[in-house]
Structure 1
Amino acid sequence: MTRSCPACGAANEEDEDFCGSCGTYLGWSSRRARTAAPAPEVDAPARPAEETGPPEGDDAPPVPSPRPAPAPTPVAAPTPAPVAEEPPSRATPEPEPAPDPEPAPTPVPPPAPPAPVRPAAPAPVRPARPEPPVEAEPVVAVQPGVPIAQRPVVRPVAAQEETNGFPCPSCGALNRPGRKFCGRCATPLHPGEQAEPLPWWRTRWPFDRKVRAGSGRLVRGSVLALLIVGLLIAGFLLVPAGRYVIEDVRDKLGDTGEISPTGVTASAATAGHPAKLATDGVTNTYWGAPKAGASLTAEFEKPFRLVGVTVHTGVSTKPEAFQKGARPTQADLRIRTKDGKIHEKAWSLTDKPGEQTVRTGISDVVSIEFVVREAAGQGGGRPIALGEIEYFKRT
């Protein structure tokens, strides 16, 4: 005989406790085959074994309670309703056929009451006869339960206080020798000495960068050294240009002062208007040049840094008197230094009264020559008037 697994429906032998396909325990749903018992004697004829309803069990459909028959007339058993088929996954053992009883006359049975209809349930069946007692199920083995380990019990233990050791500088707790941090507050027990402050130049970029192995310190040092060497070479080759830039900045930022020449001479002059009248400090007197090409030369006692030259052209600074005399409009400055070198500078003058200044920026000047190149208002034999000329040095 075989029995089906209630989980997967696989067939298994009767003496097997676990399914061979899925391993499900088969002892919970197994029952031994019921032993057939002789049918009790009743007035109604016995039904054949095929009409007997399915045995009661865990998987049998519910059976309604039997209805009593009328007292005067014996009621024959109604026609058995079709037995609901059980799912293939829960097969029940077939009962053994009972011996056929002798046929007996049966009265005409009254119409049977209609069977109650239940949704989603098998059709009701005829009340079955009381079944013989079923033997108790055998005691079978079960799977043991999983043991649960008991949780450990934490027992408070008093902390052992150190009786000797190094005291913590923060909380005062004693710590055993060899510890580096306090066991209570984690404060360093032996803080190192404070590092000495770095020199000021180590706090400036790029010297303030921390150096570690393989960080490119050699490369940066080499580049810095090459840059310094290049600046030195460039400064050596460009000394004149660098010096000129430095001196020009000093001229613009420093103070200036007027310097008077030790002697003034002219290549030519008209009567009553000598060369010294161009440096007397007033503008209503003037040096009169008879024609273009005449020059005025000023000599100085010591070399100095010439910052600029200022002139007042014309016979007067008043506009109505300025137009009555001739005045220079184009001139050249010839500046000689103590080494004998002459610096020439062209100067275009505005034909209007007032001072006009030109910046020079020449060092070690010893003499300055003012040469008239062009003039305006020369008609009628009027001389070319230079009212005043001033020289400024750096102080």
Structure 2
Amino acid sequence: MIVCKQCGHHNEDNDTFCGSCGKFLEWSGERVVVAEPEPKPVVAPETEPEPAHLGLIDRVKHAVGLEEATAQPAAPAGIDGASEGTPAPATAAPPPAAAAPPPLIMRSVPLTSVTPPAPLPASVATAPAPEPVLAGVAAAPIAAGQADEPMSRRPSSIAPAAARPRATPRTMETPTRRHPGDLICGQCGEGNDPIRHFCRRCGNALDEALAVQLPWYRRLVNRLFGVRTRQAGWRPQRVGPPNVLGGVWRIVRLAIGAIIVVALLAFLLVPSFHNAVVDRASKAFTSLRIALRPNYDPVHPTAATATSAVGGHLPALAMDGFSNTYWAARASDRAPVLVLRFSGPVDIAAIGFRSGASGTAPADAFTSQPRPRTVHLVFSNGYTSDLSLIDQDATQPTQFTKLPDGKARQVTFVEIHVQSMYAPVGAPVSSVAISEVEFETKD
């Protein structure tokens, strides 16, 4: 552990910069070694004495019998029970024998023993050691007055020092750690603990550092199937009956996972199931898109009839797509009805009206003819609706009215019953005038 002297922050042994103040730890850090308790003295087990080891020479002497004991000495007088006063019996003295040679005794000397060198005689004087001389440098002559000075004060020649090689540029190594939650240094890419303020390698500030984050699929797998880490000392504490719901939920999750795997394999390997899934998904996506962000396309009728019509203003002019033509009912027709037919069943989502007369003749002025105010719509599928129309010129954009979803489906014709009108200026020549009726379908 390295302790920063500037702020007192504890850093790891392999950190280069302080994690709190960013100081260079080789200058402002102090390595602290945690003292370990002294181990207890180990008691050496008692060992039995080893038997004496006989050397080669001892074994040879023992084999040839050279280590026999010497002759026993003569016993002193008076030991055999004879008193001092009792004279010994007179016996003939044996002739003197020649003296026996002393027994030969051999001793072994270790090979490692060396005879100490003999001391030198006092008359031999020890020569003083020569002074050290640097290689390639001539020895400086010693003056007469310098002979008594110590060696440390005598001037000497100094050899030139060798040039120190320049330090090679330090190459940045690859990051050593990348753990989830670590802060990535933007300068060297090293991973740092989330509590650090400066990079552990280069000392760069970690204010804008990005945190390492696992991909979403790995987080999901770890959440579903990963092993939960517990704190030290954790023990399961069960209160009450066993958690049956937890086991059931675990079985349900496994069953759902198995169903998903089987469905995925069937989608990839069974063509009929693949097509059915694609069609169902396409319809569901289209329905959702239509409900959230629909597209409206125009749909045109193919035929038109009415209860009455003024000459030159037939019912077909209400669906021709031109704004300067119109359908006009006779003045005697108090309940005019316009019927528009389609070529096939359609789903109508909106309907729009352009009311009143339109044209260049004075009789075709907008205010000269009555305009529909309220109409009653009857669709071929039985759906009915009442609409209130805005009294605006036919040259203005058509105002569409949205119909409820799914009400006007599979429609083949629409009946438009005019119930009330806006009054004209002057004497009218018709009971009502409609310039254009438009329909839209949702896609």
- The structure having more radius of gyration, on CA atoms, is 1
Normalising by the residue count of structure 2, what TM-score does the alignment of the two structures yield? Answer: 0.34
Q: Relative to total residues, which structure has the larger helix share, 1 or 2?
A: 2
